[in-house]
A and B are shown apart, each in its own frame.
Chain A
């Protein structure tokens, strides 16, 4: 199952056009969903507005479980955007993948480590930014020596391991799901009638499971974002 990626270089930067395409589509879908849901806002919510408000309440629950609302309220839109973006990204690769020749064009953008690690680095960077902003440089720096000064190296390592696990967990889950889906699809198309019959049921099961995994991963990513944020932001830790 070797696929080529559509790589181009431009201005000294390397672009994977498939990633560019898929992140753009994901963003577009999220944006369209959000706009559709908030097109006609009413005091008594109806239809899509209900759904988006449910998402808001869900993310609010996540934030409330990690920090107090006074400091956590500002991360609500970030959390909602994250959870919607990652969820849509996870779902995109499920129904099909599109290939031209050997090149894979349509897939989950989150099945690429570059994308997930970018998100993870962005989140961890944001936690540091808000840590400094809300607690001041001194308090922020002193946090590295807590609870014991000799744990300082571990604290540094923790920052990197947090970033890596946050990004790679998402990537691994989604990528594995897509690999297995690809294998099953290959079996269905190449294995004749029996192959198609044999692949149909596992494929359905695996797709259902992938939907589940996609939801869970979106939730976990948002949850961990708020946990890391709370670590840096809250006063008593």
Chain B
């Protein structure tokens, strides 16, 4: 069978012009068919997925950039917040100190005032006591001297004259003191 085929082929080759027109057409046809099939079944989907990947990656990069930006913003906010709270704490401490100072001043002033008042009261008391004592003494001295004088002079002087005399005398004593 092989040989007979060869014979057939050789027979055909005898009036072969040299240009394989059939080959040309077949080659063109099969290449175009191959191209079309590949494009439909293999390359189309592959390019689709490559495109998809490209988009995916671009998306991811964008997302990452966005996240980065957000994190940066957040950190900035946090920093500002921290600064603010530190300032607030400082202010609070300052206030407390001022308040303490004020209270101290107040307490000291109140204490001083109280002391002054007490001193004043004590002084007044002393003054009054002294006056009382002087009055009591004066009375005592008067009656005593009357007693003595009446005893000494008996009836030579009236009681009024005697009181006058004693008053003068006491005046002298008060001035001399």
Contacts and interface: CB of A to CB of B under 8 A. Distances in A.
Interface string A86-125: 0000000000000011110000010010110011001000
B81 interface: no
B102 to A, nearest CB: 72
B5 to A, nearest CB: 8
A43 B37 contact: no
B46 A52 contact: yes
Contact of B22 (A13, A35, A56): A13
A15 B20 CA distance: 6
A118 to B, nearest CB: 4
B50 to A, nearest CB: 7
B31 A30 contact: no
Contacts of B23: 14-16, 19-20, 112, 114-115, 118
A164 interface: no
B27 A19 contact: yes
B13 interface: yes
Interface in A1-33: 4-10, 13-17, 19-20, 23-24, 27, 30-31
A78 B32 CA distance: 10
Interface residues of A, number: 47
B20 A14 contact: yes
Interface string A26-64: 010011001101100111000001001100100000000
Contacts of A49: 46
Contacts of A112: 23
A42 B26 CA distance: 35
B16 interface: yes
B49 A24 contact: no
A165 interface: no
Interface in B48-97: 48-50, 52-53, 56
A38 B41 contact: yes
B20 A31 contact: no
B28 A122 contact: yes
Given A9-B12, A35-B42, A14 B33 contact: no
Contacts of B9: 4, 6-8, 17, 103
A26 to B, nearest CB: 9
B47 to A, nearest CB: 7
Contacts of B48: 41
Interface of B: 2-3, 5-6, 8-10, 12-13, 15-17, 19-28, 30-31, 33-35, 37-39, 41-43, 45-50, 52-53, 56
> Nearest 7 A-B pairs (CB), nearest first?
A15-B22, A34-B42, A13-B22, A118-B27, A38-B42, A27-B34, A7-B13
Interface of A: 4-10, 13-17, 19-20, 23-24, 27, 30-31, 34-35, 37-38, 41-43, 49, 52-53, 56, 76-78, 80-81, 85, 100-103, 109, 112, 114-115, 118-119, 122
18 contacts: A4-B6, A4-B9, A8-B8, A8-B12, A9-B12, A9-B15, A13-B25, A15-B20, A19-B23, A20-B22, A23-B30, A37-B46, A38-B41, A78-B35, A100-B5, A114-B27, A115-B23, A122-B28
